[in-house]
Amino acid sequence: MTKILELEAINVIRNKNLILENVSLSIEDSDFLGLLGPSGSGKTTLLKIMCGLITPDTGKITYPSTKKPKIGYLPQALPSLPNSPATVMEIISSGFDSKPFTNNHEKIITMAKEMGVQNLLETKITQLSGGQIQLVFLIRALIDNPDMIILDEPSSSIDTKSQSKIFQILADVNKNNIPVIFSSHDTFAITNSANRIACINKKLDYHGSSKDFLSNKHLAESYGYSVDVLSHKGHD
Partner 1 sequence: MLEMLSQDFMINALIGSVVLSITAPILGMFVVSRRISLVGDTLSHLAFAGIAIGVFLDFFPLLTTITFSIIASLLLIKLMQSNTLNSDAVLAVFFSSSMAVGTVLLSLSEQVININEILFGSLLWITRQDILYQGIVGLSIIAITLFSYKKWFLISIDQDLSRVNNTNVNFYDNLLIVLTSILIVVSVRMVGVLLISSLLVLPILIALQLTNNFRNTIFIGIGISLLCTLSGVTSSYYLSSHPSIIPPSGLIVIILSAIFTIVLIKNNLKIDKFESNF
Residue count, binding to partner 1 (CB under 8 A) = 25
109 touching partner 1, by CB under 8 A: no
**Is 46 an interacting residue with respect to partner 1 (CB under 8 A)?**
no
Q: Tell me which stretch binds partner 1 (CB under 8 A): 1-9, 28-36, 68-76, 162-170.
A: 68-76
Q: Does 75 bind partner 1 (CB under 8 A)?
A: yes
* Closer to partner 1 by Cβ: residue 19 or 150: 150
Region label for 224, one of left (φ > 0), alpha (ψ between -120 and 50) or beta (otherwise): left
55 binds partner 1 (CB under 8 A): no
Binding mask 129-168 for partner 1 (x = CB under 8 A): -----------x----------------------------
Per CB under 8 A, the list member of 100, 106, 161, 236 interacting with partner 1 is 100
Q: Is 107 exposed, middle or buried (0-12, 13-18, 19+ CB in 10 A)?
A: middle
Q: How far apart are CA 141 and CA 201, in angstroms?
A: 26
CB of 120 to partner 1, least distance (A): 13
**Sequence-ordered list of residues with C-beta below 8 angstroms from that of 38, at least 6 positions apart, any chain:** 201, 222, 223, 224
Q: How far apart are CA 141 and CA 200, in angstroms?
A: 24
Q: What is the nearest approach in angstroms of partner 1 to the Cβ of residue 138? A: 12
Is residue 124 a contact point for partner 1 (CB under 8 A)?
Answer: yes
Asked if 28 contacts 4 with a C-beta cutoff of 8 angstroms, the reply is yes
User: How far, in Å, CA of 214 to CA of 199, rounded?
Assistant: 12
DSSP state of 69: P
Does position 51 bind partner 1 by CB under 8 A? yes
Cβ partners under 8 Å of residue 215, min gap 6: 229
In terms of CB distance, is 18 or 53 closer to partner 1? 53
Please tell me whether residue 122 binds partner 1 under the rule CB under 8 A. yes
**Is 136 in contact with 125 (CB distance < 8 Å)?**
yes
The residue ranges that bind partner 1 (CB under 8 A) are 48, 51-53, 71, 73, 75, 79, 81, 83-87, 89-91, 94-95, 97, 100-101, 122, 124, 140
